[in-house]
């Protein structure tokens, strides 16, 4: 069973925070603010499984920054999310001091796993939400996948995987 956007808002977004985000992002429609907060909540709720660069866009990172500024609310949120621990947030500019290759290090397998975790927990990506997840957006915009194909791939694996598995397991037994 997947978690709906309404369930996320009910569980984690107080009326006071809704007001706060709408004020901070007053240049956007309330509907767009709602979508960004929902996508931020999805990421933050599965962030305990994320190691390395964050897999969300600057717009979602902006929501995270605003939430962190309300320290009591952020602490309360972290204690309610999966993992029940405070989610640290560091800039790559800061981390670069310790590791000069921080920006260049990407783990594609881990990034795809995060997208699959999204689909498993929240259901298929919606076309208007893909842009907030850079790898998903890249796969749709640059690789020619439709959003439907992306969701299918994240749910069932690449279409060639079953044929490859059958071919390799048949060869092993021969």
pLDDT tens, residue by residue, 73-103: 999 999 999 988 989 888 777 777 888 776 6
**CA proximity to 8, closest of 80, 92, 99, 86:** 80
**CA proximity to 138, closest of 118, 159, 108:** 108
pLDDT tens, residue by residue, 106-165: 678 888 999 999 999 999 999 999 999 999 999 999 988 999 999 999 998 866 554 544
Contact 21/10 with Cβ under 8 angstroms?
no
Kindly list the distances between the CA atom of residue 161 and the CA atoms of 49, 57, 158, 169, in Å, as whole numbers in the listed order. Answer: 24, 29, 5, 12
Domain ranges of the chain: 5-173
Kindly list the distances between the CA atom of residue 31 and the CA atoms of 36, 131, 165, in Å, as whole numbers in the listed order. Answer: 9, 16, 44
Residue 161 has which token pair? 């995987």
Q: Is the dihedral of CA 136, 33, 117, 148 positive or negative?
A: negative
pLDDT tens, residue by residue, 21-62: 999 999 999 999 999 999 999 999 999 888 777 899 999 999
């Amino acid at each position: 069973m997947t978690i709906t956007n309404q369930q996320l808002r009910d569980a984690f977004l107080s009326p006071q925070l809704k007001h706060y985000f709408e004020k901070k992002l007053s240049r956007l429609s309330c509907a767009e603010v709602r979508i960004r907060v929902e996508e931020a909540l999805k990421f933050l709720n599965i962030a305990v499984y994320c190691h390395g660069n964050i897999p969300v866009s600057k717009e979602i990172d902006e929501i995270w920054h605003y939430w962190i500024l309300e320290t009591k609310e952020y602490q309360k949120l972290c204690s309610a999310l999966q993992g029940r621990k405070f989610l640290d947030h560091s800039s790559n500019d800061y981390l670069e001091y310790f590791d000069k290759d921080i920006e260049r290090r990407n783990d594609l397998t881990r990034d795809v796993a995060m997208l699959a975790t999204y689909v498993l927990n929240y259901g298929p990506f919606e076309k208007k939400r893909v842009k907030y997840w850079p790898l998903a957006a890249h796969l749709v915009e640059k690789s020619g996948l439709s959003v439907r194909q992306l969701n299918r791939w994240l749910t069932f694996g690449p279409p060639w995987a079953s044929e490859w598995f059958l071919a390799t397991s048949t060869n092993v037994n021969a």
